[in-house]
Amino acid sequence: MISTRVTEMLGVDHPVVCGGMTAVGTADLIAAVADAGALGFLTALTQPTPEALAAEIRRCRDMTDRAFGVNLTILPTLTPVPYDEYRDVIITSGVDIVETAGSNPAEHVAAFKSAGVRVIHKAVSVRHAVKAESLGVDAVSIDGFECAGHPGNDDVPGLVLIPAAARRVSVPLIASGGFADGAGLVAALALGASAINMGTRFVASTEAPVHRNVKDQIVANDERATQLVFREFNNTARVARNAISEEIAARSRRQGATFDDVAELASGARGRSRVLGEGEMDDGMWWAGQAQGLIQSVESCGDIVDGIIAQAESILRELPMTIHGKEPQWASAR
């Protein structure tokens, strides 16, 4: 058993987190993550209405008696999103762990904290992590450049970003981006984090609510099989490399290009329907990180988490108990 500040604070068995993932973070996956002893987050905005989110929370509770949370990502959208209504559903449903991401969560953090909800904020830079701590969050999830989704525009990989953030914040740190195995967990602990967050690895699980072709593609892909898109629009995103993402990148590089030039190709509805739903791997944009290069099989969430912990414990047993005459912080995990 590896005990850290995150496991103690959140009441989970293992320092492993499945963060919110659009169209993937449903009860089917999150209940399985919870039963594996890790912490998973339902994705609030995957549900079309606040009422639908309330129903999904109830469905997850029917599937597991373990702890889980809800992700609320705050981003500019063409159609206004009733974030305060989603927030109120989270609170009234009795969810006591929330992952916020995207824009400044100050308004929502204040409301969650006043209701006794613990908040983990996802940040992509040290300065954003420091700002989140100043808002009163309970933990920070720090996303390195390797991650799927939006890594920001600084291009700082986890090997530098994680310890840099650990030096500046006092709340527990969750390392995100490029994690898929026990060696990564040990590395994150050594760099100053108290847990790892995985997205792509959990998409390649038997319980993930996506087409089998998606899972098999992740296993087949290597670490080079991602594409950065939207950088020209100051909204860098890492997605899986396919015909659609390569075309988005090509169109975006054209002189005078705007998001309207790629909007149809980048449609989230298209990716969810054609790729995640129907398994047509070149017919839409879908999210995946560089951790694809570390994923060799599709397994159950239970086997994934058990394998990570077993490998991490084996590595820790083989490491020397002292470094420069001092006992390392992770020694208590042995």
Q: What is the pLDDT of residues 212-267, one digit of tens each?
A: 999 999 999 999 999 999 999 999 999 999 999 999 999 999 999 999 999 999 99
Residues of the chain above pLDDT 70, percent: 96
Instruction: Report pLDDT digits (tens) over 231-246.
Output: 999 999 999 999 999 9
| Burial of 297: CB neighbours in 10 Å, binned 0-12, 13-18, 19+ | exposed
Which residues share a beta bridge with 119? 98
- Per-residue HEC secondary structure of 16-50 comes to EEECCCCCCCCHHHHHHHHHCCCEEEEEHHHCCCH
For the whole prediction, is pTM greater than 0.85? yes
pLDDT reported for residue 328: 53
Classify the phi-psi angles of 109: left when phi > 0, otherwise alpha if psi is within -120 to 50, otherwise beta: alpha
Residue 168 contacts residue 129 (beta carbons within 8 Å): yes
Residue 229 is which amino acid?
Answer: V
Question: Rounded to whole angstroms, how far apart are CA atoms 71 and 182?
Answer: 25
* Of 3, 14, 28, 5, nearest in space to 193 by CA: 5
Residue 284 contacts residue 271 (beta carbons within 8 Å): yes
The residue extents of the domains of the chain are: 5-209+294-333, 226-287
Confidence of residue 334 (pLDDT cuts 50, 70, 90): very low
> In the CATH scheme, what is the code of domain 5-209+294-333?
3.20.20.70
Task: Give me the chain's average pLDDT, please.
Answer: 94
Residue 132 contacts residue 140 (beta carbons within 8 Å): yes
Mean pLDDT of the 96-101 span = 97
Q: Is the pLDDT of residue 58 over 70?
A: yes
The alpha carbon of 171 is separated from its chain's Cα centroid by a whole number of angstroms, namely: 18
Length of the chain: 334
* Of 21, 27, 100, 24, nearest in space to 58 by CA: 27
Residue 185 contacts residue 153 (beta carbons within 8 Å): no
Instruction: Report pLDDT digits (tens) over 99-158.
Output: 999 989 999 999 999 999 999 999 999 999 999 999 999 999 999 999 999 999 999 999
Largest Cα–Cα separation, the chain: 59
